[in-house]
Each structure stands twice: as structure tokens, then as C-alpha cells.
Chains A and B, each alone.
Chain A
Amino acid sequence: MEPIRTRWRMLTGGLSGLILGVAGGIVGIALLAGGASGGAGDGGTSYIMAGHLPPLLTVAGQDVTIRYAIVCPPPGGDVSSGEPCDGGGDVYIRSGHTGGFERLSLTRGAGSAAGRYFVDVPASIAADPRGFSYYAVLRDRDHGTELTVPAGGADAPQQSFPLRDPVTVALGAHSFGATRTADARVADAPWGDGVGQAGLLGGPTSMRIGPSSFDVSRDGTVALLDEMNDRVERWRGGALVGSVPVEVAAATSDFAVGAGGTMYVIDGRSAAGDTPLLRTFAPDGLLVRARHIAERTWSQLRIGPRGPIVQQEPSEQWMPATDGAAPLDRAAQARAGSPGRPLADGSQLVVLRSGVGEVRLARIAGGAVRASWRVLSATPLGEVQLADATGDRVVLVVKAYTDTQDEFVVLVLDGRRLVQRFSVPSDQWAEAAPLAHFRLVGSSLYKLGSTPAGAFVDRYDLGGAR
């Protein structure tokens, strides 16, 4: 009997330990989880955002309505309830681009598809031959927060210019399938992480993201941002000539190469509550600087006359990140905002994709329109991938699309007419930064493309510029 009693006691002891050990483990996990978890956070309980499509370029006789979407917490209640907020605000507007502003109050409309809050621009201002300029102060009337759009306010108001006697180019209906063959393939990187390859993010049933951007130097060196492999690859004449490591986010970032080989990367993602970072790298890949851009969303990064420049929203302006070597803080970036991309000769190119099938383009110098174009298409037009100057000509690349087809249309324009026109395949198997598919260097147009085999850069020669 004694051994049996001992065994039972051991069995009992073991069973008790088992039960209490399991219970203790459960309690421990619950306590730890209670400290780590939480209910709905209060991130963003006081915020205000806006959407605005500025009438950058107008045509004769056009009625102009300025509209805004205001996104802010609803009155009282749950911020995530999905109720619209109690917004409002004023637009400060003037004829021309100097002088005082007059205040117009925004009206709240019934629909919000294109922005619930609007003001009709008085005809006298809309029709002014100099154009007009404006900014808005938007409000969340319930919580008291305000937002100025553009961010520079009176220092850098939005500017609208009238197109007078633009060169009109009627493209008609686009004929798909007749694309031009590239003059050269200057970079060709199969998918992978090896030398001369390009990284690909995403699986067979999710978004594919490949090299998100590139740039081309005057000597024809192609720099490909291979962010999935944390590097920039350099190609010349179709051969890989080098690679430098860069520390960048694995996201669709934009990229530009400046003077002396300095590289700039605008992050495709941002930390909570902050704006994206613009990183500056030395030619050897060493991180020199990382500074926030002014606004939450960007569409493209280029090199301007004074350094890197970023087109940003909701201001819908190009904002310089530096003034020469000196980085600009967010407020200074906003104060230097302009509607058009600054060019080396001091002019700027203003682009507006209007309606279903129209692009308006203007070269502005000295505050006035010096040349302008209207491109009209019977086939819907998508995004303007590139608008750049070469000599006295302008090169415009825009997407033509239907429900089943899409191609890039390349137009070379001078002050009187369409000089050249051709289409190229879209080759967008993997995602890149939205407006990073083309670069113009001299009279050569470069295109970043991707297929199931890999990523590549093609060159199209446009002929000499006059």
C-alpha cells in the first residue's frame, strides 16, 4: 500500500502542477497583452485635410469654380463614424499676381464628389488677362482647426493663368498598337537580387513593385533606384558599370540625380503624423541628409535650378527642397511654392490635365504666359508623365487609355505646331513611382518599363532641338 500511496501523491502533485502551470501561463499572457493592447486610439482626433484641384490654366470664356474637399473629425461623436465634418472657410483672391486679396466665403454644397465647399470666381477676376491668384483658409468649425491651401498662403498663393491663342493640337482618337521601337535599351535588369538584377516586391496575387524610379545624367549614365535591393545601379551603353548601396524604404519612391552625382530619394511612405522624407545621398551612397518635405503627399521629384524640387499635395505646387546647398525647412518650402515646374532659364512649365481628354500647358515667364498649348484627344487621357523643355521646344508625355488598352503618347511641340508624335508601350507590369517612367536629357527621351522578365530603360531619340 505504501508504494501505491506514494504514486498517487506524485500523480496528484504532478497533476496539480500541470493545472496551475497552465493557469499561470494564461494569466501571464493576459497581463502582458493587457499592457500592450488598447482600444481605439486617439491618433488624429484633431486634424484637417483637404483636396483641391486648382484651375491652373483657363481658356477664354471659362466659368471658374474653386472647390475643396475638407476632411476633418465630425462634430461630437466618434471620429471614425464616417459623418462629414462641419467645414467651412474663405478664399482670398485677387486679379493678377500682386496686390491685396478680397475674401470670398466658401459655400457648402450638397454633393462631395468633387469637393463639397466651393466659391464661384467672379467673372471680372476669372477673365482678367493677367490671370488671378488665391489661397484658402479652411476650417473645422467644430474643433477650431484650420488649414491654409496652398501652404504658403499669401506668400505663395495658387496662380491661374489664361491661355491666349494657345497652339491647339487635335490628336483625334488614339490608334493603339502602332508603337515606336526604342532606339536603344540602355539598361536591362532581370528580376532578382544579384549583380545587374532588379528587386521585385509582392507576390503572385498582390501588388508588384519593382525599381520605382530612375534618372539619367548628361553623359547618358542611367541610375536605377533598385530600392528592394537597397541600392542604386548605374548603367551606361546597356552595361552595368556600378552599384552603390543606399538605405531607402522598400516602397515606391521617386529619385533624381543632381549636380556632381548627388542622389535624392523621396520616400514612398511616411511615419505616422509626419510628411515623407527627402533623403540626400553622396555619389557613393552615403546618407548626407534626411529632411521632411512640406506636405503629406507628393507626385514627383525633379532637379530644379536650385536643387531638388517636389510637386506636393494638397497645395498642388512645386516646392524646392533646397536653395542651392542650403536645405529649406517646411515653412520655407511652402513659401517658395509655384504652380509650375521651374526651369533653368527662370521660366516655369504649368500643366493641367483637364476634363476627359485635354492637356493644357503653358510656359510662364515674368508672371505672364509666353507660350501655351492645348492638346485635345478623343481618347481619354490619363496622367502627364513628363512635361519638359528642350531648347525652344516642349516635350509632353501623356497616357492615352481605354478600358482595355493604354499607351504613352509622346508629343514634341514648338511655338507654332506639333513637331513630332509617336506612342510607346506602357510596360507597367510592376509598379513604379506614379510619374517616374520618363526622363528627358537633351534630345533623348528615356523610359522606365517592366515586364515579367525584369525592368529596363529604353531610349528614344527625338532629333536635334533648335
Chain B
Amino acid sequence: MDWLRISAVVTVTPLLAAAACTGGGGERREARVVDRVRALEIALPARGSLARCLELTPFRHGRVIAIERLGRVTRSVTVTQRGSRALFACDETGVKLERREWCGFSAGALRDGRLADPRLNILCVDRHRRHVASVFVNPVRGARWISVDQGPYTELFPTARGLPVRVASTHDVDYGRARATFRISQIGPGGRILVRRRFVAQVAG
């Protein structure tokens, strides 16, 4: 083997190893948090905490579908009504915004069951005064969880009723630029990774 080839191997091999270590290939152990979810159908008018969220929506009569997710950083409620293309989410972290329980509120309009825009909200802060970014993620067919890279751990947000999934993170939130970067995986039955994606959401509209 000539020196050129030797030097190439010596140079490239560590690079490949580094890429393997950082690119998600191979197995690595990391902490995982699995959120709880419950899907409810609620007759209006509602009461309590949910009512305070619904006040922000146009739903006043009939029944609503409410998907409640409880995670490490946020509790969210995603609300819609059968036959309506409007989708709303309320987010709370336990830290009130101006004495309001729900510090975040986002609205979207479904087209073929999907949202064109993740509807980023960054008004919430957690107990450590970190800005919390909340967005919608459209689940792909077969997805059971949306996995969000939170830095030191991964958080799994369960899907429900085929609706866009409200996820949240304090990791990689660029508050000054009103944007947040999410690294997500969509996980199917048996833990199979269906999709990996990185996207940047912007406060807009």
C-alpha cells in the first residue's frame, strides 16, 4: 500500500467513525420520556381548565374532540370538531402568562387532514424560565409516536386520532429570531423509525 493510500485511510477512518457517532447510525443509549395522551369527546359547554382553553376557540355548541398530552415540559390540548377544518392547541407549563393558565394558543386549518404550517408558539416559559417552543407535527401513516430530540433526552409524543401532534421543546429555541429547530423522528409499531426530519419553525401570521 503506498503512502497516499495509507494517509487516506488514516485520515478518513476517524471521520467516518465520528460521523457514525453523531449521525444517529448505530445504537446509543439515551434517556427517553414517554408522554401520556388521552383522547376525549366533550360536550359543550365544558368546565374548568379545558373551558378556559375552549374560550379561545370559536367552538360554542355541540361536541369537541380534545387530545390532551402531558409531557415533561408542557401539557397541551388539541381541539377540533367533527366536520371542522379548524384545529386549535392550548399549551401550558405551569408557569402562567399574565395570570393565564394557558400560556400558548395556536390555530391551524386542516387541508386533507394536514397542516401546512406548524404554528409555532414561543410565549410559554418553563419553571427555569427557559422559552418553550410548541408546534404541530403532521403524523405519517402508521406513526405511533413523534420523537423529539430534547438534547439530553428524547421525548415521545403519542399520536391520536390521526390529528397533527402538538409537541414542545426547550431545546434549540432561538427566541430572538422567533424560531425553533426541531429534530424529530416518527416511530411506528415495534419502534420502527418511519421518518427522520429536522425542520425550523418560524413565528408567523
Distance of A3 Cα from B3 Cα, bound (Å): 11
Q: A7, A11, A203, A452: which contacts B116 (Cβ < 8 A)?
A: A203
> Would you give 14 A-B contacts (Cβ < 8 Å), ordered by A?
A4-B3, A11-B4, A204-B85, A204-B108, A204-B115, A205-B107, A205-B108, A205-B115, A205-B116, A205-B117, A205-B119, A205-B204, A205-B205, A452-B85
In the complex, chain A residues whose CB is within 8 Å of the CB of B115: 204-205
In chain B, what residue has the closest Cβ to A208? B109
Given contacts A7-B4, A205-B117, 19 further A-B contacts (CB under 8 A): A3-B2, A4-B2, A8-B4, A11-B4, A203-B109, A203-B116, A203-B117, A204-B85, A204-B108, A204-B109, A204-B111, A204-B115, A204-B116, A204-B117, A205-B108, A205-B109, A205-B115, A205-B116, A452-B85
Q: C-beta contact mask, A428-466 vs B, less than 8 Å → 1, else 0? A: 000000000000000000000000100000000000000
In the complex, chain A residues whose CB is within 8 Å of the CB of B3: 4
Q: C-beta contact mask, B83-97 vs A, less than 8 Å → 1, else 0? A: 001000000000000
Distance of A8 Cα from B8 Cα, bound (Å): 12
In the complex, chain B residues whose CB is within 8 Å of the CB of A11: 4
Chain B interface size range: 10 to 19
Determine if A206 is an interface residue (Cβ-Cβ < 8 Å). Answer: yes
Distance of A3 Cα from B4 Cα, bound (Å): 11
Number of interface residues of A (CB under 8 A): 10
Distance of A51 Cα from B106 Cα, bound (Å): 35
Cβ < 8 Å to B, chain A residues 3-55:
3-4, 7-8, 11
In chain A, what residue has the closest Cβ to B119? A205
- List the 4 shortest-distance A-B pairs measured between CB atoms, nearest first: A204-B109, A205-B117, A205-B205, A7-B4
B68 to chain A, nearest CB (A): 23
In the complex, chain B residues whose CB is within 8 Å of the CB of A206: 205
In the complex, chain B residues whose CB is within 8 Å of the CB of A3: 2
Distance of A194 Cα from B110 Cα, bound (Å): 23
Distance of A12 Cα from B204 Cα, bound (Å): 49
In the complex, chain B residues whose CB is within 8 Å of the CB of A7: 4
**B→A interface (CB under 8 Å):** 2-4, 85, 107-111, 115-117, 119, 204-205
In chain B, what residue has the closest Cβ to A203? B116
Residue with the highest number of chain B CB atoms closer than 10 Å, among A4, A7, A11, A205: A205
In chain A, what residue has the closest Cβ to B86? A204
In the complex, chain B residues whose CB is within 8 Å of the CB of A205: 107-109, 115-117, 119, 204-205
Distance of A205 Cα from B85 Cα, bound (Å): 11
Q: B4–A4 contact, CB under 8 A?
A: yes
Q: C-beta contact mask, A173-208 vs B, less than 8 Å → 1, else 0? A: 000000000000000000000000000000111100
Distance of A206 Cα from B205 Cα, bound (Å): 6
In the complex, chain A residues whose CB is within 8 Å of the CB of B2: 3-4
In chain A, what residue has the closest Cβ to B205? A205
A407 to chain B, nearest CB (A): 16
In chain A, what residue has the closest Cβ to B107? A205
In chain A, what residue has the closest Cβ to B109? A204
In the complex, chain B residues whose CB is within 8 Å of the CB of A8: 4
Distance of A204 Cα from B2 Cα, bound (Å): 62
In the complex, chain A residues whose CB is within 8 Å of the CB of B108: 204-205
Q: C-beta contact mask, A205-221 vs B, less than 8 Å → 1, else 0? A: 11000000000000000
B116 to chain A, nearest CB (A): 5
A149 to chain B, nearest CB (A): 35
In chain A, what residue has the closest Cβ to B8? A11
In the complex, chain A residues whose CB is within 8 Å of the CB of B204: 205
In the complex, chain A residues whose CB is within 8 Å of the CB of B205: 205-206
In chain A, what residue has the closest Cβ to B117? A205
Distance of A203 Cα from B119 Cα, bound (Å): 13
B205 to chain A, nearest CB (A): 5
In chain A, what residue has the closest Cβ to B58? A404
A68 to chain B, nearest CB (A): 34
In the complex, chain A residues whose CB is within 8 Å of the CB of B109: 203-205
